[in-house]
Structure 1
């Protein structure tokens, strides 16, 4: 699919972590801190992240719905236990406080300002809790009009319910939105299933697109979005 010959969107929705906010870098820093606290230098940060991600994603899709803080805490406990590491009550605080402080990518704030000046309304749709993401949104220059979270929707990506909730909250149909994201596993699956337009920011992390879905456009940085839209006469 292509964005050519499609209508200008009223809203742009964004995945937050990995798209606007430096998720991988921040997560690695949090994991290094946890491993240092536990004197577990024999375990690579990438190993703990891989095991944690597996547990976290499974818990997000397992009823009943729980807050991200609870999901992240349980996922981290399970990952530490699987790797034979001790667990203490401060572990999840290290992770969630790091998440809230993760900064935006260098080009993000200026790009959001350009998109606002071009007349778009901007919304974040994220698999998190309101209080956790608040620290990240505060770093985005005041350009974000709405923030819609898994906590508000009672569902996590890639379940369509989160995006359906977002579209209803914004008062738009799927054809009035373009979603901009970095996560194939979560956001592309929802775009495939619901049918909304999607721009992939492929930041070279090694994440691969789904075998049965191709995004409407693929860019490497957020500041490539305004020129793309200008080329479409939006």
Structure 2
């Protein structure tokens, strides 16, 4: 599928561009303490609780991680230590891009301005963005917005800041639950799903599918 060139290409960062390795961080902290079965249960619980935490009242990402780890430990019946959650959080700014990202991004950045809307903090995100290998027109964090995706507020804030409407952007993400469902509900018709295996396909939401960011230039005929 070839899409018309938008005024801006907007991106989810963590997971889509940055190799957001929360599961790996949890394994590095807890792996020697848990059986493989218990470790798998903790990782899955941690994934679900992170989503639940961001749907509530605004709180810093550090608290999202802390609460999610604490709830996960309670669920599988192990002791929670705040320093374990802090170790996971401290990894976030160290994570770099998926291998396919720099080359693909740099090609489209020559033709179309790139924007990030991220569930991140102001003091974290630029460490990740600087590793992506391409210039960004605008970077917006959940801290700046005062809300996390999948809530609509971040997308609405982004459109207002860019001075454009839903018809003027293409939104790119590897997640339906955090990004593409909300984009659909807001009338963003031009969407790209990066199939990184995080979630199953859901054609109802209408998108171009690519396996990784190396396929993004071709979506716009670049």
Q: Are 2:43 and 1:52 aligned?
A: no
Separation in structure 1 between the aligned mates of residue 74 and residue 116 of structure 2, nearest angstrom: 33
Which residue in the other structure is 2:73 paired with? 80
Which residue in the other structure is 2:60 paired with? 67
Q: Are 2:26 and 1:35 aligned?
A: no
Separation in structure 2 between the aligned mates of residue 29 and residue 57 of structure 1, nearest angstrom: 17
Separation in structure 1 between the aligned mates of residue 49 and residue 31 of structure 2, nearest angstrom: 22
Residues 116-165 of structure 1, C-alpha deviations (whole Å, 9 max, x = no match) = 112x1111111121222222112112522221111111112121111000
Q: 1:105 aligns with which of 98, 102, 105?
A: 98
Structure 1 unaligned runs (5+)?
Answer: none
Could you say what secondary structure the match of 1:34 adopts?
helix
Query: What TM-score do the two structures reach when normalised by structure 2?
Result: 0.91
Which residue in the other structure is 1:9 paired with? 6
Q: CA RMSD in A?
A: 1.9
Q: 1:198 aligns with which of 157, 182, 191?
A: 191
What pairs with 1:65-214 in structure 2 (closer than 5 Å)?
A: 65-118=58-111, 120-196=112-188, 197-205=190-198, 207-210=199-202, 213-214=204-205
State the number of aligned residues: 221
Shift of the alpha carbon at 1:112?
1.3
Structure 2 unaligned runs (5+)?
Answer: none
Separation in structure 2 between the aligned mates of residue 15 and residue 184 of structure 1, nearest angstrom: 11
Q: Give the 4+ runs in structure 1 shifted more than 3 A.
A: 41-45
Shift of the alpha carbon at 1:43?
4.4
Shift of the alpha carbon at 1:3?
5.8
Residues 168-215 of structure 1, C-alpha deviations (whole Å, 9 max, x = no match) = 11222111110010001111211121011210011234x12447x333
- Residues 188 and 215, structure 1, Cα contact 8 Å, conserved in 2: no
The change in CA–CA distance for 1:127 and 1:204 in structure 2 (over 3 A counts) is same
Could you say what secondary structure the match of 1:90 adopts?
helix
- Residues 2 and 220, structure 2, Cα contact 8 Å, conserved in 1: no
Shift of the alpha carbon at 1:72?
1.5
Query: What TM-score do the two structures reach when normalised by structure 1?
Result: 0.87
